[in-house]
Structure 1
Amino acid sequence: MTIDKTVKKKVTEEWLNVFCQFSEFHQNKLYKVIEPCLVGIELIKSPFTETYSPYFVIYPLWKKDVKANLEYPILLKDFKNEKGFQLDISFENHSAFFKDVIECVKLQIPLALDGSVSFTKLMSVLDDYSKSPPLNAAPNSYLQALLEEAKLKISLYIGAPEAQNLLDQISRKSWETNHFKACGVEVSQWFQSLQEVITNRYSFLQQIEVNKQDKKIAKLQSSVLTV
């Protein structure tokens, strides 16, 4: 049975009524701006059944345009039920389970939704994500490097010294060069690109501001990132 679009719209509205700190970016994407990032909840439909699962997401705002920023999330983490399984909610019986689902999500959402967001807490969330499956299986892989790159760029939004300190830590890691090469990247060139971003911090900040002025981003609610 195919679920009507009006049912899916109602589901999104119910999520927004609970998490009113987010704004609707798309029918199943609820976001807010936290300075250099988009943070939110996505209601991702199963490809096999008429059910959906909520995910906590973080996207960058420093790439060349909004489309590029939304190509690949920095963080994509599902929510679990009381038994430790991924939440899987039927569109048809949504109302019967929604209250319990919301309780699970509220307990697991990793960032405060009201007021400002701590830079330290945001970095801690990304650190925890790096230690969870499947990323923890390959701690020196290029996928881990991409997460470190995101952390560096969030740090760069705060200041160049913070970013440089993180780059120094990154350069001391024993990265899996073969995995980088399999992804078409040389470790030395990657280091160089990170240093160039730090050197050109003004352009980096400028690009974030350009993206935040996009009409779809500008309508979203926002929070300040504090040190």
Structure 2
Amino acid sequence: MSPDLESPTDRDWVRQFITTNLPILPVPGIPEIRLHKAAPNSGLRRLAERDPQFGSPYWAHYWGGGLVLARYLLDRPETVIGHRVLDLGAGSGIVGIAAAKAGSAEVQAADVDPYAIAAIELNAALNDVIVKTILADVATGEPPAIDIVCVGDLFYDEALAGRIVTFLDRCLAQGITILIGDPWRAHLPTSRLRLLAEYSVPDFGDGTASARPSGVFAFESNMSP
């Protein structure tokens, strides 16, 4: 029987599974943050067997875009100090956690995967920060009350990239600052980006977890006529 994560019992079961099976490790290149991360014997297959709708456990691995954006926020805390930040498609919550550690006034982390939400809650507590979780596709509507939206590695799929760009344009229209972390994936909207910094970070997304250059960008208005 698949778990209903609206049920406190099953939500607790998932949290206990993550706590027991995903070891707490320092993040490569970001020793200020520790996360629950998948290991070879973590048994994520058991979650998939328990829930037929279990998706790809991207929240359990390191992705270049999230790593580079988290590193940038910690290196330049003035970027987010005192601001309300949304971590869009948050996964493990690493970007939101970095924003909170850097001094954000409020951090929201949104994801469509209930397993990601459980992981974010555990990881935020582990790092002694407050991150408000949102289980929803916030990109389908108007932006919440925020000052900065952080997008870590959401341009790996063409259709998804198109939806994210549309949402980011709505954010720009409301005066919201947009920061993107990405290892130059195929559907990154490069014509709309201004490079702010570049780091070499591991990237599970390429199937090897090898280090590769990843950028932090400001997303800007389309000035084409």
Rg comparison, structure with higher value: 1
Higher relative contact order (CA 8 A, sep 6+): 1
Same fold at TM > 0.5: no
- 1 or 2, which has the higher helix percentage? 1
TM-score normalised by length of structure 2: 0.29
| TM-score normalised by L of structure 1 | 0.29
